[in-house]
Structure 1
Amino acid sequence: MEIGREEEGDHDMSLSIGTLQIAGSNGFDHNIMSQGYQRNSRSSEIDIEEVEIKDRPLPIFLKFEDVEYKVRSSQASSKNPVKDMVSKVASQLSMEQDNYKHILKGITGSIGPGEILALMGPSGSGKTTLLQIIGGRLHENVKGSITYNDIPYNPALKRRIGFVTQDDLLFPQLTVEETLIFAAFLRLPSNMTQQQKHSRVEMIVKELGLESCRHTRIGGSLVKGVSGGERKRTSIGHEILVDPSLLLLDEPTSGLDSTSANKLLQILQRVAKAGRTVITTIHQPSSRMFHMFDKLLLISEGYPVYYGKAKDSVEYFSSLRFIPEIAMNPAEFILDLATGQVNDISVPQDLLTPRGAPEFEREVVKYLQRKYKVEVEPIEKGENHGTRKTPEHLQLAIQVKKDWTMSWWEQFTILSKRTFKARRRDYFDKLRLAQALGVAVLLGLLWWKSKMKTEAQLRDQIGLLYYICIFWSSSSIFGAVYVFPFEKVYLVKERKADMYRLSVYYVCSTLCDMVAHIVYPTLFMLILYFMAGFKRTIPCFFLTLFAILLVAITSQGAGELFGAAVLSIKRAGMIASLVLMLFLLTGGYYVQHIPVFIKWLKYLSFMYYGFRLLLKVQYSGDQLYECGRKGGCRSLQSSPSFDTVNLNGDLKEVWILLAMALTYRFCAYICLRKRISICNV
């Protein structure tokens, strides 16, 4: 069978997860693949597009040799600050040059299309770390060789690798179908029609058995949704939707019952047979699941203790005279060996430490590590790393970076729809609506038909204007400050997959959130304005509303900046509280004449400009009040309340607030880009 030739009956742009079968093979055979592409290599020109086999992903042959990874000891700190401090002082006093903790200590292996490699080992052995290194998510302090079709990792591989994390990072408010459809529109090629993309989603839904829950929300800790198995299958569908060549899964069966876990492994088998290279970490599979794996890499304390066919693992350890004395699950048997717990397991006689000694378990692990180093590793390096070479076509194809599937505007259109759907329950929350309307009615009753005939009445009305400023500033700033910290995990995941441009995400987030920051203040002012007895003219009403909206939108920008700067829910809220308090005090109501040495603070406050703008819109300097006093009427400009405000001046505050709103957002975008780029390293 020639891999480069399509089978009859294949349809354009279709994805059949279980269609690719090679006779007499459990997947792709390396030699067959090589021969098929060597025949094509006689052509004088290399057509990279032909390497992308229709309906199948680009084959990736992965090899990793002597992979080591270490972190600074300070990074692997405990939760006890006193213990961390003592350890830090001790490490500084000791003059050791190598102040690192070694996580991986020389891991070697290889895997090709059509195969599933299981990474097993006790907790903390380094399984997830190795998976992240293979996926290109860890680069620093990594030693060894990792190649994809004999080529080192490069940015072009980003969109050819699917990574399913242990925690399913899916938007809880979207349904299963919506999650997959938005992923399809963002990630599938732009030359596909909408109907073809919907067909691809429909096929994935059927293949993964998600028909019964397609219209159910994903849900989460606070939102009721699909089951754990359905959520995991949706995560896998989200990745295989775009035909990744290399699919990596971190503990995909954790939290699932035995039946759901078996069904998930059967799906992964079909995924692999479609031409993908699949690697998964798994803790303790059932015996049935264990035999579904093609290859097994067993890690203990960062060292490999077995690599080879999963079905041959028990035989290998038996050859070392580690033989179970009772019937045992193969996975349980090898994990016991990896931890040195050999109860009900006979051990070789050449172990120097007697059974039952405190260091016996440690000696068992060391024994297995030595045997692997001598008997298994040289064979793997010789067979898969020394002789086999990937065809030149695949080496070149793996270096071709895929362009964005959509233009900036197309990405904006799709992402804005997804953002609005994912957050619509927050935008149109009944409690939030009740708060806005309730506060408006309460203020309207407290300031019912307020007057400005006397100084005291004028002060009351000015106080209401300042409270409105405070209310919408705080509401907007706290409504925006938590957005990026909450969505950080989704953003990092999708940016690592190059799903969209960061600028598109930021603009969509800002504009969609702006809906709530416009709708609620508008409803609020429609109720309060006429109850409180403000100036009853249409221009004055709309100017007042415009001023409130400007304050809310500027506050939103400030909240986004604080959230993007730290990407931490706790710290972002604390910073927002401190800044809001500072802006509140310097807003011009509580203190009009601020000391010169600290006067500059008020020019940073958007509440200062918003409050001045409201006063200029609502009042004019030649208006008269206190006409009942002996000296006659006075102009509003002569009131002490307007000592620092020229009521007849121009509305320069509008331009200042607009400039502040744009500056906050520009700085927020820069901070977000910097912080996300650090997370993507």
Structure 2
Amino acid sequence: MANSFEALHVDPKMFKDTTPFTDEGQKLTLSWLNLSYKVKFGGGYKYLVQDLSGIVRPGETLAIMGPSGAGKTSLMNLLANRIKSGVTEGEILVNGKARSKDFTFQASYVAQENLFLEIFSVRESLEFAANLTMPSSSTKKEKEAKIDEVVKIMGLQSCENTMVGGGFYRGLSGGQMKRLGIAVTLLSGASILFLDEPTSKLDSAAAFNVVQTIQQLADQGKTVIFSIHQPSSELFASLDKLTIITMGQIVYFGEAKESLDYFSNLGFPCPKYTNPADHFISLVNPDFGHFPNIDKIISSYNDSKLVQRIESEHQELTEIPQALINKNRASFLTQFALLFERNGRNTVFNPKVFRARLFSNCLFGFLFSSLYSLTPRGEVPAFAITALFFTIMNQFGTQTLAALPFFLALRPIFVRERSNGMYSVLPFQLANFIATVPTLAIYSLAATSIFHTWLGLAGSYYWFWLTAFCLLLCTESVMHILSAVTPYYVVAYSIAALYIIFFTCTAGYLVPTNQLIYILQYSSYASFFVYSFQNFIYNEFKDTPKNYDVLISYSAEDVDMELNLLIMGGFVVVLQFIFFLLLFFFNTGKQ
């Protein structure tokens, strides 16, 4: 069997990086002993992983392999401190000491789906990460040098100025995207890297290239742990340390090159010309009926010298003094400035989103106004104008639904960057909101200027536009909240549509608010649509005696427009505060 493995041998020299990679990060050993994790299931608990032990030192890579549902992701999340529910048992140590709150700065996690804003180039994405994660004392020249270094070691020179791409634009390939995700983590100086299935959705050549890059990082003193589903034979031959998991339990932990002899000694030799990874997975895969040998393999491992070796290494592992951790990253103001610039560019210079919403507002203005093309300007009947105001509320409400995919796409990027310690919640939330204000002002200006000019509305244009603008701020804030509540567009869309329909119908146009049943009267005043409708009709009819009866019919004879705008501004503040709380407590990256 050893001969069959030798046929798959890959020259280790091919993994040696010829580029000197300087890293200020400290060298950290990650170890875990008797690690278990259980969640509530039925009337009791169910173990997702049980009694796992292992150790990975600087300069080593550990590949976690196993069939689907074996517990690979659960183990990765436990080690990366990305678990907030369930019950965790056992120890996880960094240099022989329990993990501290500084672990966020010591480790970095690369998710299976590497998401970036698609309109930015590779270089721009790395510059953003460098400005946030490198020491604040670093000069621009030092940051540029570090970026050049990372680009070179990750093999991104050919696509350095290529747009990342995504749903709207073509950009990086799958392998390039994976390497960009790793490159971003390198800029932070993290010493421990976690990669969740970095070879998923890649062809064998791209997958091999990514694993080669991972090995290069370990050669520079990093501690690297990654999960892998079913590597090719060539890729398997390049692995360093290997652990195989099934049903939440370990069946092998040791050198990858020793795994064939280990299973052969158990009576499960790998057939000639068979991929060892395929052989091991078939041995421990319980999906198609409980394989009779799985229990034997698990118990054999628990009684093996491999377990004794891990326990011995744990006993020998004393507390190693840790170097000072660089937490002197970007300040609050720097974080805000960088996020504001990025979100602003993404909002304004993402032409397909910006132009679509601007075109929608202009088209709405022209279509509605054209209905009264044969009516002399300034003589549009009062009932039509009040219908216009109701339609504006509906349009400005439903139009923001188009922004939901935009915000939902931004959410996983925020979660990834926040969980890796790039920035905190408040600067992101403030930058995200403030960056949308200019575009909302433009959208509202486009529609209201067409209405006011074409139809010859009698009211002040300033109050008309300002009310419409505040209405958009409120509805946009609702979309922010929904994007933080659920990652699913259909769910968010359904909730938003129901919200808009209910509160526009109780805003006073269809039935005056004082004529609604009590429960609807009280609920209507918890809606910003009520205050916008009052402002619209009062501004339009307060100085036209012939239409003053319209104000009487809607009980709007004495409306304080300034107060209403302040109330709508209060709605914005409250809604944004709710958005902040949702981001802070429920979008942490932990499961």
After superposition, give the CA deviation of every residue in 1:514-570 in whole Å (9 maximum; x if it has no partner). 23211121122232311111238xxx2223222221222222223333443455433
Separation in 2, partners of 1:578, 1:428 = 24
Deviation, 1:116, is 1.0
Separation in 2, partners of 1:198, 1:550 = 42
SS at match of 2:68: coil
1:379 aligns with 2:304: no
Q: Which residue of 2 aligns with 1:185?
A: 131
After superposition, give the CA deviation of every residue in 1:205-255 in whole Å (9 maximum; x if it has no partner). 121111222222223355422111111111111112222111111111122
Q: Which residue of 1 aligns with 2:41?
A: 73
**Contact 2:535–2:561 under 8 Å retained in 1:** no
Q: Which residue of 1 aligns with 2:215?
A: 269
TM-score (structure 2 length as normaliser):
0.89
Give the counterpart of 1:469 among 393, 398, 401.
393
Shift in CA distance, 515/250, structure 1 to aligned 2, threshold 3 Å: same
Separation in 2, partners of 1:666, 1:283 = 41
Q: Which residue of 1 aligns with 2:568?
A: 657
Give the counterpart of 2:68 among 94, 101, 123.
123
Separation in 2, partners of 1:481, 1:512 = 16
Consecutive unaligned residues in structure 1, runs of 5 or more: 1-15, 22-53, 75-90, 92-98, 342-357, 626-635
Question: 1:186-335 to 2 correspondence within 5 Å?
Answer: 186-221=132-167, 223-335=169-281
Deviation, 1:204, is 1.4
Question: 1:77-88 to 2 correspondence within 5 Å?
Answer: none
Separation in 1, partners of 2:585, 2:265 = 54
After superposition, give the CA deviation of every residue in 1:591-645 in whole Å (9 maximum; x if it has no partner). 1242452322332222221122122323334x343xxxxxxxxxx4345665511
Give the counterpart of 1:403 among 317, 327, 337.
327
Deviation, 1:19, is 6.3
Residues matched between the structures, number:
572
Deviation, 1:479, is 4.6
Give the counterpart of 2:496 among 566, 573, 576.
576
Give the counterpart of 1:425 among 350, 353, 376.
350
Letter in 2 for 1:661: V
Bigger radius of gyration, 1 or 2? 1
Report the identity percentage.
Answer: 26
Separation in 1, partners of 2:516, 2:23 = 72
Q: Which residue of 2 aligns with 1:609?
A: 531
**Contact 2:393–2:504 under 8 Å retained in 1:** no
Shift in CA distance, 340/450, structure 1 to aligned 2, threshold 3 Å: closer
Deviation, 1:273, is 1.1
Shift in CA distance, 619/325, structure 1 to aligned 2, threshold 3 Å: closer
SS at match of 1:263: helix
Consecutive unaligned residues in structure 2, runs of 5 or more: 1-15
SS at match of 2:292: helix
SS at match of 2:119: coil
Structure of greater relative contact order (alpha carbons < 8 Å, 6+ residues apart): 2
Shift in CA distance, 368/473, structure 1 to aligned 2, threshold 3 Å: closer
SS at match of 2:49: strand
Letter in 2 for 1:167: E
After superposition, give the CA deviation of every residue in 1:409-468 in whole Å (9 maximum; x if it has no partner). 1101111122233343267543333222222122222234856998x8222233223323
Give the counterpart of 1:414 among 334, 338, 345.
338
Separation in 2, partners of 1:104, 1:639 = 69
After superposition, give the CA deviation of every residue in 1:342-392 in whole Å (9 maximum; x if it has no partner). xxxxxxxxxxxxxxxx99x7332222222211122443234311123243x
**Contact 1:20–1:275 under 8 Å retained in 2:** no
Letter in 2 for 1:198: E
Separation in 1, partners of 2:253, 2:407 = 42
Shift in CA distance, 470/121, structure 1 to aligned 2, threshold 3 Å: closer
**Contact 2:76–2:194 under 8 Å retained in 1:** yes
Q: Which residue of 2 aligns with 1:516?
A: 439
TM-score (structure 1 length as normaliser):
0.78
**Contact 1:20–1:273 under 8 Å retained in 2:** no
Q: Which residue of 1 aligns with 2:121?
A: 175
After superposition, give the CA deviation of every residue in 1:1-55 in whole Å (9 maximum; x if it has no partner). xxxxxxxxxxxxxxx976679xxxxxxxxxxxxxxxxxxxxxxxxxxxxxxxx73
SS at match of 2:587: helix
Give the counterpart of 1:554 among 465, 474, 488.
474
1:488 aligns with 2:411: yes
Tell me how large the CA RMSD over aligned residues is.
2.9
Question: 1:587-602 to 2 correspondence within 5 Å?
Answer: 587-592=507-512, 593-595=514-516, 597=518, 598-602=520-524
Letter in 2 for 1:64: W
Separation in 2, partners of 1:322, 1:484 = 51
Which has the higher mean CA deviation after the structures are superposed, 568-577 or 248-257?
568-577
Q: Which residue of 2 aligns with 1:362?
A: 291
Shift in CA distance, 467/386, structure 1 to aligned 2, threshold 3 Å: same
1:102 aligns with 2:47: yes
Deviation, 1:265, is 1.8
Deviation, 1:292, is 2.2
After superposition, give the CA deviation of every residue in 1:93-142 in whole Å (9 maximum; x if it has no partner). xxxxxx32222222111110011111112222112211111111125322
Deviation, 1:149, is 0.4
Q: Which residue of 1 aligns with 2:30?
A: 62
SS at match of 2:102: helix
Letter in 2 for 1:415: L
Q: Which residue of 1 aligns with 2:112?
A: 166
Separation in 2, partners of 1:589, 1:210 = 58
**Contact 1:115–1:278 under 8 Å retained in 2:** yes
Deviation, 1:269, is 1.5
Q: Which residue of 1 aligns with 2:9?
A: none
Shift in CA distance, 546/308, structure 1 to aligned 2, threshold 3 Å: same
